[in-house]
């Protein structure tokens, strides 16, 4: 077989279509394994789109070491560094929704690749939907692709479209319901939105549940998934202070 080559955009599109294939192959029996593969595919799509946008600025910026351009064997930039370069060199701005989606997909990808992985359908819809919303916006506004139109018009992409629409509609509804301030909320560690109901101990957007704890030092409420040492009984702020004080032989 003759050698085949993907451009960055073609590579990203292939990963997106791979995610769609996983969804369409299991329309009624979605599993954690299916969600895992979809999340990894979408993470790959976002990373490749970052690199394509950098390439449009200058191909050398795709490489971790720009001095090695035009080497075809040099390591390319990581997703995190690509994001920084886009902001500093490409003048690309990422709004709060973008940052939230990228934080969520980065954390879930890390969980999949390095730890035990668990997710339910409600959580998966939020994670997948938030990343899809970002991918379609970035592909259209920053890379100049027509993926948003295809998402609406291509029947094969219909299931993927449902996830993005679900997230946007649900997020708007939930945030509107929380505007009156009657429910005490904090940032959800899963979807990174200010939608975690502290009284019910559940995110009213993605359904993530965990107990709300009280910091033994400052008495502030916090979530154990936000801290590094669960047994310390300290909120993230006090945990940081405690670590700083220990390192510098001080007390706070």
Per-residue pLDDT of the chain (252 residues), as tens digits, is 678 889 999 999 999 999 999 888 876 666 888 889 999 999 999 999 999 999 999 999 999 999 999 998 999 999 999 999 999 999 999 988 888 889 888 989 999 999 888 888 888 888 899 999 899 999 999 999 988 888 878 888 887 877 887 888 888 989 998 988 889 999 998 888 999 999 999 999 888 889 999 999 999 999 988 888 878 899 999 988 876 445 445 444
Question: What is the helix (H) or strand (E) element at residue 224, kind and residue range?
Answer: none
Show the beta-strand stretches assigned E in the chain.
Answer: 185-186, 196-197, 202-203, 212-214, 221-223
CA dist., res. 229 & res. 239, Å (int): 8
Question: What is the maximal distance between C-alpha atoms in the chain?
Answer: 68
CA dist., res. 215 & res. 229, Å (int): 12
Cα dist from 160 to 9, 149, 153, whole Å = 19, 13, 12
Please give the model's pTM, rounded to 2 decimal places.
Answer: 0.78
Long-range contacts of 139-146, Cβ-Cβ distance < 8 Å, separation of 24 or more: 139/49, 142/49, 142/53, 142/92, 143/9, 143/49, 143/52, 143/53, 143/56, 145/9
CA dist., res. 139 & res. 16, Å (int): 12
């Amino acid at each position: 077989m003759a050698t085949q080559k993907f451009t960055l955009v073609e590579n990203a599109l292939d990963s997106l279509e791979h995610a769609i294939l996983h969804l369409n192959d299991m329309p009624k029996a979605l599993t954690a394994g299916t969600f895992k593969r979809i999340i990894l595919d979408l993470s790959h799509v976002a990373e490749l789109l970052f690199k394509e946008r950098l390439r449009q600025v200058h191909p050398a910026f795709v490489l971790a070491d720009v001095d090695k351009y035009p080497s075809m064997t040099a390591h390319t930039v990581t997703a995190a560094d690509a994001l920084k370069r886009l902001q500093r060199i490409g003048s690309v701005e990422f709004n709060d929704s973008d940052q939230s989606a990228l934080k969520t997909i980065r954390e879930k990808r890390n969980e999949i690749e390095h730890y035990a992985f668990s997710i339910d359908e409600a959580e998966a819809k939020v994670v997948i939907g938030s990343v899809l919303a970002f991918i379609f916006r970035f592909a259209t506004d920053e890379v100049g692709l027509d993926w948003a139109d295809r998402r609406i018009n291509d029947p094969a992409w219909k299931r993927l479209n449902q996830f993005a629409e679900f997230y946007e509609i649900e997020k708007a509804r939930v945030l509107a319901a929380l505007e009156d301030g009657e429910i005490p909320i904090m940032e959800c560690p899963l979807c990174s939105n200010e939608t975690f109901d502290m009284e019910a101990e559940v995110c009213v957007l993605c359904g993530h549940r965990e107990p709300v704890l009280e910091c033994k030092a400052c008495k502030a409420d916090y979530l154990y998934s936000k801290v590094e040492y669960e047994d310390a009984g300290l909120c993230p702020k006090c945990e940081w202070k405690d670590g700083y004080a220990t390192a510098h032989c001080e007390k706070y």
